[in-house]
């Protein structure tokens, strides 16, 4: 089959690789209909995250059609149109049974590459996203193997188009979870740093959960426009104001937002040697805007409010723990527990309450994958997400 793979730092290629096969009895093989880029992919493409191997097929946000099922798959059949959350979960461990799916104990085949960096703990495995996160082949390909298919494939109802279902794989559940963390009450104002796919989904989700106002913070005009048009957010261009903090305080009558969602991150993930990179990078740009996002969110949040962290971090310096403590804040964070939200997300999509298809600003054949990632990385032509069809 054809697949997009990581050949080396800033070197993506499309080539022919062997087809995936059923290995374990609960596996399924999915014929990929659509897959899309994620900002977190850029970190290993740029060489900031280690544990990639030349030839790794990448991609963790996708949907498609069941092609083949293993002997222990009970709830799926060939031809089912499904969306697959990015984290592979067993459905049976203590974490899965407590809906903490991205913490699944049983889907990481290479724990020795990750456990040392998380105090001996491991996350669930992810498709196409470094060997520290399991080393599973990714979904920018014609076919992908989906372990524990009964838990990880969700049938897409009629009336929900492929390009809507696609974003229920990662961007939508991540944003939705971030809003869910905020325990939104009537009258609440939610501020969201970042208007990429996840940030926009968090804004729409906050609305769906009853937020009175949503305030979005970014610097790209086309993304701020999307926030206004699709999520009904008020917007702050942080390059156009003296102080985001003061602007937010003015907009909220001096209270501060009831909840603050960080959908920016530090261009880093929770694995090892990139910790060093993060710190060097922070050192290189001590006043970086990205470094400021999380701190700004802490400082702006009202007393007793919630900080919801979706951005990915390694180690962060000058984290204002004193403000969190003295303001009695609640901090919530996780990689996406997509399986916990998928029924609700599909229902919202079916009713037209959540339509993330607008994130698909640019479409490519899989053969043009490297060019798609290049446009996505440089935000060329207002690119929010590049979508690939094999």
Partner 1 sequence: MASNILAIRPRESLRRGGHSSGVSAGEAMQGIGWIPVALSAALIVSGLAGRKKGAVALALTACAGMAAASAGYGVPLHRGRADNKGRSGTAGATPEVERAITIGKTADELRRLWLAPGTLPQLVAGFATLHPAGDGRMRWEIRTPLGRAYQWESEIVDGPGGGVGWRSLPGAAIPNEGSVRFDAAPNDRGTVATLHVRFDPPGGALGEGLLQLLGTTPLNLVADNALRRFKSLVETGEIPTTERQPAARATTR
Query: By CB under 8 A, what part of segment 27-56 binds partner 1?
Result: 44, 47, 49-56
Judged by CB under 8 A, how many residues of this single chain contact partner 1? 77
Asked whether position 137 contacts partner 1 by CB under 8 A, the answer is yes
Which is it for strands 213-218 and 189-193: parallel, antiparallel or unpaired? parallel
Could you tell me where the DSSP H helices lie in the chain?
Answer: 41-45, 94-97, 149-152, 162-165, 171-180, 197-208, 221-231, 244-251, 273-284, 289-300, 321-326, 338-350, 369-378
Contact 61, 167 (CB under 8 A): yes
Among residue numbers 315 through 334, which ones bind partner 1 (CB under 8 A)?
315, 317
Q: Is the dihedral of CA 9, 10, 15, 18 positive or negative?
A: positive
Would you state the structure tokens that stand for residue 27, as one six-digit string? 């596996």
Please report whether residue 92 would count as binding partner 1 according to CB under 8 A: yes
Which CB, 225 or 288, lies closer to partner 1?
A: 288
Among 60, 81, 145, 290, the residue binding partner 1 under the rule CB under 8 A is 145
Backbone dihedral angles phi then psi of residue 347, each to the nearest 5 degrees? -65, -45
Pick one of 11, 15, 219, 343: the residue that binds partner 1 (CB under 8 A).
Answer: 15
Does 371 help bind partner 1 (rule: CB under 8 A)?
Answer: no
The whole-angstrom separation of Cα 279 and Cα 326 is 27
Q: Which of 66, 76, 117, 386 binds partner 1 (CB under 8 A)?
A: 117
- Residue range at the interface with partner 1 (CB under 8 A); choices 4-12, 214-222, 298-306, 351-359: 4-12
Q: Which is nearer to partner 1, 18 or 378 (CB)?
A: 18
Among 32, 69, 113, 195, binds partner 1 (CB under 8 A): 113
- From the list 46, 77, 99, 116, which residue makes contact with partner 1 (rule: CB under 8 A)? 116
Give the angle subtended at the CA of 3 by the CAs of 358 and 269, to the nearest 5°: 65
Q: Transcribe 260-272 into DSSP letters.
A: EEE----S--SSS
| Closer CB to partner 1, 106 or 252, in the complex | 106
User: Which listed range, 91-99, 203-211, 228-236, 369-377, lies at the site for partner 1 (CB under 8 A)?
Assistant: 91-99
Q: Which of residues 263-292 bind partner 1 (CB under 8 A)?
A: 272-284, 286
Q: Are 319 and 291 in contact (CB under 8 A)?
A: no
- 10 Å CB burial of residue 314 (0-12, 13-18, 19+) is buried
Stretch that binds partner 1, among 3-11, 161-169, 257-265, 296-304 (CB under 8 A): 3-11
Q: Verify binding: residue 13, partner 1, rule CB under 8 A.
A: yes
The Cα-based distances of 213 to 43, 255, 374 in angstroms read 33, 14, 35
Stretch near partner 1 under the rule CB under 8 A, chosen from 33-41, 108-116, 167-175, 184-192: 108-116
Q: Based on CB atoms, which residue is closest to partner 1, 257 or 270?
A: 270
Residues 204-243 that bind partner 1 (CB under 8 A): none
Q: Report if residue 93 touches partner 1, rule: CB under 8 A.
A: yes
């Amino acid at each position: 089959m054809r697949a997009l793979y990581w050949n080396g730092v800033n070197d993506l290629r499309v080539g022919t690789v062997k087809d995936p096969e059923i290995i374990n009895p609960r596996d399924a093989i999915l014929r990929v209909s659509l897959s899309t880029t994620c900002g977190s992919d850029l970190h290993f493409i740029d060489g900031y995250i280690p544990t990639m191997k030349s030839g790794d097929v990448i991609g963790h946000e996708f949907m498609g059609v069941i092609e083949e099922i293993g002997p222990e798959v009970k709830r799926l059949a060939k031809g089912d149109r499904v969306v697959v959350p990015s984290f592979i979960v067993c459905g049976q461990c203590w974490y899965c049974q407590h809906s903490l799916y991205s913490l699944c104990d049983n889907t990481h085949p290479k724990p020795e590459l990750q456990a040392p960096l998380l105090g001996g703990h491991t996350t669930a495995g992810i498709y196409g996203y470094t060997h520290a996160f399991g080393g599973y082949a990714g979904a920018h390909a014609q076919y992908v193997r989906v372990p524990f298919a009964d838990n990880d494939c969700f049938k897409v109802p009629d009336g929900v188009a492929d390009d809507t279902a696609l974003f229920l794989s990662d961007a939508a559940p991540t944003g939705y979870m971030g809003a869910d963390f905020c325990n939104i009450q009537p009258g609440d104002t939610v501020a969201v740093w970042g208007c990429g796919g996840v940030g926009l989904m968090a804004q729409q989700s906050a609305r769906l959960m009853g937020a009175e106002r949503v305030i979005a913070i970014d610097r790209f005009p086309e993304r701020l426009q999307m926030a206004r048009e699709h999520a009904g957010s008020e917007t702050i261009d942080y390059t156009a104001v003296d102080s985001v903090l003061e602007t937010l305080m003015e907009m909220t009558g001096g209270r501060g937002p009831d909840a603050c969602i960080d959908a920016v991150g530090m261009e880093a993930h929770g694995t090892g040697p990139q910790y060093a990179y993060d710190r060097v990078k922070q050192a290189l740009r001590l006043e970086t805007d990205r470094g400021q996002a999380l701190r700004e969110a802490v400082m702006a949040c009202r007393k007793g409010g919630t900080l919801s962290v979706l951005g990915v971090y390694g180690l962060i310096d000058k984290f204002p723990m004193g403000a969190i403590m003295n303001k009695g804040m609640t901090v919530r964070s996780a990689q996406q527990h997509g399986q916990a939200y998928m029924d609700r997300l599909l229902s919202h999509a079916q009713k037209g309450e959540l339509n993330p298809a607008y994130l698909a600003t640019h479409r490519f054949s899989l053969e043009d994958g490297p060019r798609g990632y290049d446009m996505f990385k440089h935000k060329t032509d207002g690119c929010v997400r590049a979508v690939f069809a094999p």
